[in-house]
Amino acid sequence: MKIGLYPGCSLNGSARDYNESVFALAKAFDIEFEQVPDWNCCGATAAHNMNKELSLALPARILAAAEKHGLADVVVPCAACYSRLAVTQHELLHDPVLRNRVSEIIGMEFKGTTNIMNVIQFVDKFIVDKLEPKIKKKFNYNVACYYGCLMVRPAKILKYDRPEDPQSMDEAMRKIGATALDWGYKVECCGAGLSVSKTDMVSKLSGKIIEDATYRGAEAIIVACPMCHSNLDMRRGDINKFWNNKFTIPVIYLTQAIGLAIGLTAKEVGLKRHFVAVNLPKKEVESA
């Protein structure tokens, strides 16, 4: 099976571990990714703060290229990229004048026919139902599934899962043997793109997330966004300093957790690249 992929800027750089786990998981389920040809930056957190047409043209060019290449489904692992592509498609489909204007800017016709999926949706559609026979070692841990603020919002546009208490990632984790905890910060903001410009704000917001997950008894925080992972993992030193605490809870991508459950190695799913060591408590091995 071949599916389109828009990697965005982070998967080839700061989120290399995420990239490795996404591709390793797809391979294990006989799925081949085909990158959107000649893809460009989606504009991320900057473009829509500067220029309306630019903020739409960048994602529209990606989607138009996917359409031209015949990619019906496109997986977008980064939550910020996913949000920009989905919101742009929605806006252009509901404004023909703006759609024509953007098509002129990018020099390609934008039709809006691409099915845009984040990694949780990809797992839900192509992986979950095929998991059971592949599980070799259950992921028998208490986990806090952290969706962040862009994976299920804005709800009226994305129309995926519940905006305040999403369950799709929780369900996937239960499928591999984890206990998905009920906790208070699963859709709160981690600080997002302020990671460089306002590290104190990120330390405050991300610290609240980590503190609550730890308080609830989570042994790992599960994410599906490279920015969320970066803020919770890479900024852990700043977070610990800000909160005068030493939080050691690891932050693991959904694709990494599933990969471990089906027998992929820590190296194959990129666990060794994390800043916070993934030292999950040793438990009695429970085979599937």
Instruction: Supply the range of the domain harboring residue 240.
Output: 134-273
pLDDT of residue 225: 95
Can you give the CATH number for the domain in which 6 is found?
Answer: 1.20.1050.140
Same domain, 86 and 177: no
Residues in contact with 165: Cβ distance below 8 Å, sequence separation at least 6, in sequence order:
186, 187
Instruction: Answer with the one of 89, 119, 149 that is the final residue of a domain.
Output: 119
pLDDT of residue 285: 47
Q: Torsions phi, psi of 150, nearest 5?
A: -110, -10
Q: Supply the pTM of this predicted model.
A: 0.95
Flag whether 129 is in a domain: no
pLDDT of residue 284: 52
Same domain, 110 and 158: no
CB atoms < 10 A from the CB of 159, how many?
11
Same domain, 269 and 193: yes
End-to-end alpha carbon distance in the chain: 26
CB 253 within 8 A of CB 21: yes
Flag whether 9 is in a domain: yes
Domain count for the chain:
2
pLDDT tens series, the chain, 288 aa:
899 999 999 988 889 999 999 999 999 999 999 999 999 999 987 776 778 899 999 999 999 999 999 999 999 999 999 999 999 999 999 999 999 999 999 999 999 999 999 999 999 999 999 999 999 999 999 999 999 999 999 999 998 899 999 999 999 999 999 999 999 999 999 998 777 777 889 999 999 999 999 999 999 999 999 999 999 999 999 999 999 999 999 999 999 999 999 999 999 999 999 999 999 887 654 554
CB 79 within 8 A of CB 227: yes
Same domain, 148 and 94: no
